[in-house]
Chains A and B, each alone.
Chain A
Amino acid sequence: MSEEELLDVEIKEDFDIVKARARARAVAATLGFELVDQTRIATAVSEIARNALVHGGGGKMTLRAINRKKGLEIVIVDKGPGIPDINQAVKDGYSTAGGLGLGLGGAKRLMDELRIESSSVGTKVTMRKWLLGELRR
């Protein structure tokens, strides 16, 4: 797989969360990630895709294979109201929606990198997982 953009997955309803994480898992498997990492990736995608749907009013996921350092990049964007205080939002237990507030913090722990860019016109979450990341940590 080259450093190309793979097909986007639109996130418009709850079933799209299942589709997005299934797609991410399949691509991760193709890239050579083993089962535990595939599951970490699918679970992180599930959290961030649900956030885009529930808090951001819907969005889309883009997957990209990173050639040189061998890994997978996942970008999930929405055009929602944004996250006013990102540091607070990432803290476990912080939720404005009566949730567990585990999504962002949990996804961060499961991935090697998680970056959030957010403004009043939308949110972009970029996550990366490196092959052999666990051995390097």
Chain B
Amino acid sequence: MEEAGRASFIKIEEFLLATPQEAMRDLAAVRFRDDVLRRVKESRVNGLILDLSGIDVVDSFMGRTIGEITNSAALLGVKVVVIGLRPEVAITMVEMGVSIGQVHPFLNLDLALKFLRDQRSR
């Protein structure tokens, strides 16, 4: 885990799935944020799915950075959904009072995709 911060990006239908693979140092989190927003813009997707299953700590910095991603993507006109948040991380976020912006959380990828497709056909 020397250079914490790898992430993967996959296009599914007209949606972008962005997945941080491991714990992110602050610099990596900021780089990930910029990377996601650039890809959202360049690949002209209709939706962004943020998979947070690889994140074991969401502190105030990480929460703010995720919030910047979700709020900025929404401003770009893209629907944003979050999947994979670990229950223990969710509990900790609630206790801390960390929020990640206006997002639609889903339990898994299937439900997220269904939601995004429904939004699309409106």
Which A residues fall within an 8 A CB radius of B? 14-15, 17-18, 21-22, 25, 35-36, 38-40, 42-43, 46-47, 50, 92, 99-100, 102-103, 105-106, 109-110
B61 at the interface (CB under 8 A from A): yes
Q: Pick from B38-46, B73-81, B85-93, B106-114 the stretch touching chain A.
A: B85-93
CB neighbors of A among B39-83 (8 A)? 56-61, 63-64
CA distance A47 to B59 in the complex (A): 7
Instruction: Write out the residue numbers on chain B whose beta carbons fall within 8 Å of the beta carbon of A103.
Output: 59-60
Contact check, A18 vs B23: say whether CB atoms are below 8 A apart: yes
The one of A18, A36, A47 that contacts B88, using a Cβ cutoff of 8 Å? A36
Q: Which of B61, B63, B98 has the most CB of A within 10 A?
A: B61
> A14-B25, A18-B25 given as contacts; is B57 within 8 A of A102 (CB)?
no
Instruction: Write out the residue numbers on chain B whose beta carbons fall within 8 Å of the beta carbon of A35.
Output: 88
CA distance A76 to B56 in the complex (A): 21
Of chain A, the residue at the smallest CB distance from B3 is: A15
CA distance A17 to B30 in the complex (A): 15
- Min Cβ gap A121→B in Å is 26
Of chain B, the residue at the smallest CB distance from A107 is: B96
Instruction: Write out the residue numbers on chain B whose beta carbons fall within 8 Å of the beta carbon of A109.
Output: 95-97
Instruction: Write out the residue numbers on chain B whose beta carbons fall within 8 Å of the beta carbon of A22.
Output: 1, 23
